[in-house]
Homo-oligomer: A and B are copies of this chain.
Amino acid sequence: MNFAGRDSPAKPEFAMPERSLSPQREFGFLISDAARLLRTYTDQRAREFGSTRAQWAVLNRLERRQGMSQNELACMLDIQPITLARLVDRLCEDGLVERRPDAEDRRVKRLYLTPKAYPVLASLGELGTEIMQATLAGLDDATVRALVRQLEVVKDNLKELLQVGASTTPSDADLKTGT
């Protein structure tokens, strides 16, 4: 275990010990890989509609409820406001989304779909169904539902971890930037 500091064996080409990770560690690498591949594939396919997976998620949310502030929507998508702002920049340029000022608070901008967005959403919806069917080939419905429940647990755990880390900012938070 504590091979730290040892010099490298350098060339065990003959064999691959492949010390297997714990299932927990394995899950970490797997979920990252699977999500990245899904993103790449979805982006490839969505390009013919001039969209991407991330933009699609934004449109998807707006389809269900328009008029949210950028902050609200970012919260809902679990991304940072600045990340959403740049996505919305592009969606506005493409004429799919509109920023409107709030009547009561001049800081906030509320988001609305333009008519142009609806056909795009329809196309992306079909594409999504097709992609996910191919992605989940070999897993029956009950399995997928169980998967969804378990991933929700994972996501909630992670949101918790990130929130705790953000608020407490333990002692050595600024040992890099000096400030």
Contact = CB atoms under 8 A, between A and B. Distances in A.
Contacts of A48: 172
Contacts of A113: 8
29 contacts: A2-B118, A5-B115, A7-B115, A8-B113, A8-B115, A9-B66, A9-B67, A10-B110, A11-B66, A23-B144, A24-B129, A30-B155, A31-B31, A31-B38, A32-B35, A32-B39, A32-B53, A34-B155, A36-B78, A41-B158, A41-B162, A44-B162, A44-B165, A135-B154, A135-B161, A138-B153, A138-B157, A139-B150, A147-B147
A89 interface: no
A18 to B, nearest CB: 5
Interface string A147-175: 11011111101110110010000001000
B145 A13 contact: no
The 9 closest A-B pairs by CB, nearest first: A35-B35, A10-B67, A4-B115, A8-B66, A37-B158, A24-B132, A16-B178, A4-B122, A4-B119
Interface of A: 1-13, 16-19, 22-42, 44, 47-48, 53, 57, 64-67, 78-79, 110, 112-113, 115, 117-119, 121-122, 128-129, 131-139, 141, 143-145, 147-148, 150-155, 157-159, 161-162, 165, 172, 176-179
A18 B135 contact: no
